[in-house]
Structure 1
């Protein structure tokens, strides 16, 4: 089990406070995520959800949630999903994001990232993660795909030397 998934499960078992602690810790690991104050609600293999609370700091000139705040939330959800799902022998990095803004984003927005288990098992390094943001009424306000590049981890020099020595 990944460190992120393990920490999530421990924190989520502590009512109210645990989820806040996890969300703050996650945002500290990648400080830009703190700008949206994500509140994670689900982290499990192939799925992650978080809420971007509605506050003036994430608004645009129209008074709705800014497009970049939404993308930030989608990327945070995708990152939690990737960390909770990726096999231990692999690593990931985001390669690109394509999104459509489908409605005005008002109120708290739930950002959702999803994959299928088979996507992580193959050899194709291109891995699309489906993402969407929904408002309190369930209306999709943003949707798209974040493309990951997933490859095998490279052995560290000490690991390579140990493996070479064992092969002799």
Structure 2
């Protein structure tokens, strides 16, 4: 992207400070307060890619002591939202249409999630965002797609 992006600019400004990723993550989670329920940390943000991490702790566990998949999906959606806001061209807008995920392994550690797109995919219509969650040993625990609908912004009056 040749143009400046408000979210990447904020991330870069915060990253220069001690605890900057934590500060950015709190600010970003305020846009959708539900994100804060998992204690996320945005660890990488650039066009077409976002990485979010969160710790395995009692608050996000299920009845068998692994990280609950809904907590993981929350992080996947946060990563997708960060990617979308950091990537979408200024003349377009986006809205999620659905999420399809597969549970592939037990999530028995801290979690790292990523969201990825290709630059050429950002045009009006459906846009599949690849989302993946990993446990500490890099085993994939959840993988799937969040479908976005991308459209032209209406002209300003």
TM-score for both structures, normalised by structure 2: 0.95
Partner Cα distance (1:94, 1:6) in 2: 24
Shift of 1:2: 2.1
Shift of 1:91: 0.5
Match of 1:111 in 2: 113
Q: Does 1:5 align with 2:8?
A: yes
Match of 1:71 in 2: 73
- List per-residue Cα deviations over 1:60-107 (Å, max 9, x = no partner): 001100010010000000000000000011110100000000001011
Match of 1:164 in 2: none
Match of 1:163 in 2: none
Q: Please, which of 12, 20, 23 is the counterpart of residue 21 of structure 1? A: 23
* Structure 1, unaligned runs of 5 or more: 158-168
CA contact (8 A) 1:109 1:134 kept: yes
Alpha-carbon RMSD across the aligned residues, in angstroms, is 0.9
- List per-residue Cα deviations over 1:121-157 (Å, max 9, x = no partner): x34x100000000011000000000000011111232
Which runs of structure 1 show a deviation greater than 2 angstroms over 4 or more consecutive aligned residues? none
CA contact (8 A) 1:27 1:37 kept: no
Partner Cα distance (2:16, 2:148) in 1: 30
Pairs aligned (count): 154
More helix by percentage = 1
Partner Cα distance (1:13, 1:81) in 2: 20
CA contact (8 A) 1:101 1:142 kept: yes
Within-5 A mapping of 1:1-168:
1-15=4-18, 17-120=19-122, 122-123=123-124, 125-157=125-157
Partner Cα distance (1:104, 1:88) in 2: 39
What secondary structure, in the 3-state scheme, does the structure 1 residue paired with 2:113 have?
strand
